[in-house]
Amino acid sequence: QKEVEQNSGPLSVPEGAIASLNCTYSDRGSQSFFWYRQYSGKSPELIMSIYSNGDKEDGRFTAQLNKASQYVSLLIRDSQPSDSATYLCAVPRGYGGATNKLIFGTGTLLAVQP
Amino acid sequence: GAVVSQHPSRVICKSGTSVKIECRSLDFQATTMFWYRQFPKQSLMLMATSNEGSKATYEQGVEKDKFLINHASLTLSTLTVTSAHPEDSSFYICSAIRTDTQYFGPGTRLTVL
């Protein structure tokens, strides 16, 4: 079992719709979770971090965490063509925050259709 | 603005040569930096952890004699790909930690002919 799993996509949504991106992880003791966005040919940029069960909202982005199910998701409301990118879920190896090495999922390619 | 820089952004070299990539933290000190590699259509794979003033720790399967890491100051880590071969062609990305968040550099695209 991979440490961090994501559906590679592509996930295609129409402009203005909600995009839902999912991620599962194998280490039940993981405490922090990160979503990065990566445009083609560029390096990842941090979108959201989440540490507690439940929802965390930041603008059009909402991260959802369910530690019992070992599941973290990212919702993008009012999707825009500029949101088209690969979204990477990352979990620190070991117990701790981002000061530990990050294990990345394979990423989900999101395509927002105008 | 950017918090981590990398240089060069792109390099093309001949097989057998060595290439040095610099990673700098901008306006903050980073005792730990990470080096990742990303092949086309694949995710980031951690190569090594760079620790200021001590030896780097390498992930399983990464040759430490081929990928030399030097973290000589609190703002600079370098990755040298020695005797590069075409299979080393990849996107190399470093990261540094500031206030419990990992920030990534813009990456260096290495092409070995």
Whole-angstrom Cα distance, residue B104 to residue B3? Answer: 8
Q: Which helix (H) or strand (E) covers residue B50, if one does?
A: strand B45-51
Q: Provide the token pair at B48.
A: 């090594």
Separation between Cα atoms, residue A77 and residue A91, nearest integer Å: 23
Out of A88, A101, A106, the one facing B49 most closely (by C-beta) is A101
Amino acid at A84: S
User: CB-based burial of residue B89 (10 Å sphere; 0-12 exposed, 13-18 middle, 19+ buried)?
Assistant: middle
Q: What is the pLDDT of residue A70?
A: 95
From first to last of its 114 residues, chain A has per-residue pLDDT tens of 678 999 888 999 999 999 999 999 998 888 889 999 999 999 999 999 999 999 999 999 999 999 999 999 999 999 999 999 999 999 988 655 556 788 899 999 999 999
pLDDT, residue B52, reads 87
CA distance B35 to chain A (A): 10
Give residues with Cβ within 8 angstroms of B77, minimum separation 6. Answer: B22, B23, B30, B33, B35, B50, B52, B69, B70, B71, B94
* 8 Å CB contact of B101 and A46: yes
pLDDT on residue A99: 63
